[in-house]
Amino acid sequence: MSNPNRRSFLIDLTVVSGVMAGTATHVFGQSGTSEGSVPDWLPQQDPALVKEVVGASHGNVKRVTELVERQPALANAAVDWGFGDWESALGAASHVGNRPIAELLLAHGARPDLFSAAMLGQVEVVKAFVSARPGTQRILGPHGITLMAHARAGGAASVEVVKFLENVGDADHRPPTQPLAPAERAAVVGEYTFGPRAQDRFVVDVQNDVLGIERPGHTRRMLFHAGGLVFFPSGVPSVRIAFGGGEGTAAQLTLANPDVFLTAKRRA
């Protein structure tokens, strides 16, 4: 019987020898990159693929399968959609209750967490988290979605998790918001600039009756009213975006991240 360790060694040696001999295309089944064409994001993962796999993990099992089978490291992909609203591929599948995609990602090395456990109905895992650190049930997931919402997304398989969280309490707590009058909403809608470049601006608008903010080239984020024309973006209640300085319409926007603090003026 052949020695499996020796066989693995010989396979590895063949791969290395192929690369050294300039036959990487034959060994790996794809062409290499020419000199000067190496992308700036290397050695990180391709940001476009990272965004794609996280987006697809909400419901496109075919595309997720293609991506993670070709590149298993993408099973742990995560994106900051804006202001610190982080979402992983598994987080996306978990908050929409997509068990097949969640199981696929886990099979390819995704790191399970409290929110995936809640959606998948792993009640003993959820209990262990809460027992280890009381109050954990109040932690919000991507986009500010609660732990209870993740459990409910799991359907019949997560009934015991829902019951447990109901008994614990505070697992469906959301940051408080205040009503926003139509005149107040109209007062903040507009374009605000903070520099000379085309991308140095924020656009505040209303889509599908929801107020939002977007910087060109980035993902639009919903805005929630904390009161007094001060808002926070979806998923990040610690960030503050305040409007003021005008008569009838806001003259400026102030962003406190807190690492970034800037004031943008309304474009005339």
Neighbour-count burial of 218, counting CB atoms closer than 10 A to its CB (0-12 exposed, 13-18 middle, 19+ buried): middle
Cis peptide before 4, with omega less than 30 degrees from 0?
no
DSSP per residue, 204-266: EEEETTEEEEE-TTS--EEEEEEETTEEEETT-TT-EEEEESSSSS--EEEEE-SS-EEEEEE
pLDDT of residue 257: 87
Same domain (yes/no): 125, 188: no
pLDDT at 43 over 80: yes
As a whole number of angstroms, the distance between CA 219 and CA 208 comes to 16
Boundary residue ending a domain (142, 168, 194) = 168
The total of structural domains in the chain comes to: 2
Q: Which residues pair with 64 in a beta bridge?
A: none
pLDDT tens digits, one per residue of 128-148: 999 999 999 999 999 999 999
How confident is residue 122, by pLDDT bands cut at 50, 70 and 90?
very high
Has residue 82 been placed in a domain?
Answer: yes
Mean pLDDT, residues 34-54 taken together: 89
Where is the domain boundary, 168, 191, 223? Answer: 168
| Domain CATH number, residue 210 | 2.40.128.50
pLDDT at 120 over 60: yes
Tell me, what's the pLDDT at 260?
80
pLDDT top residue among 11 and 224: 224
Asked which of 144, 168, 192 is the last residue of a domain, the reply is 168
The 10s digit of each residue's pLDDT in 54-111 is: 999 999 999 999 999 999 999 999 999 999 999 999 999 999 999 999 999 999 999 9
For residues 213-240, average pLDDT: 96
**Does residue 229 lie in a domain region?**
yes
So what's the pLDDT on residue 3? 54
CATH code at position 132: 1.25.40.20
Upper half-sphere CA count for residue 64 (Cβ side, 13 Å): 29
Residue 127, in any domain of the structure: yes
Confidence of residue 26 (pLDDT cuts 50, 70, 90): very low
Residue 268 is predicted with a pLDDT of: 66
Residue 5: predicted pLDDT: 53
Q: Is the pLDDT at 230 greater than 70, yes or no?
A: yes
* Amino acid 34: pLDDT: 57
Residue 24 lies inside a defined structural domain of this protein: no
Residues sharing a CB contact under 8 Å with residue 64, sequence separation 6 or more, in sequence order: 53, 56, 57, 89, 101, 104, 105
pLDDT at 221: 97
Q: Mean pLDDT for the chain?
A: 89
Considering the domain architecture, whether residues 114 and 205 belong to the same structural domain is answered as: no
CA distance 119 to 135: 18
Tokens 């993902």, residue located: 219
Alpha-helical runs (H) found in 96-146: 99-107, 114-120, 123-132
DSSP H or E segment with residue 182: helix 182-188
How far apart are alpha carbons 98 and 250 in whole angstroms? 42
Give me the amino acid identity at 85: D
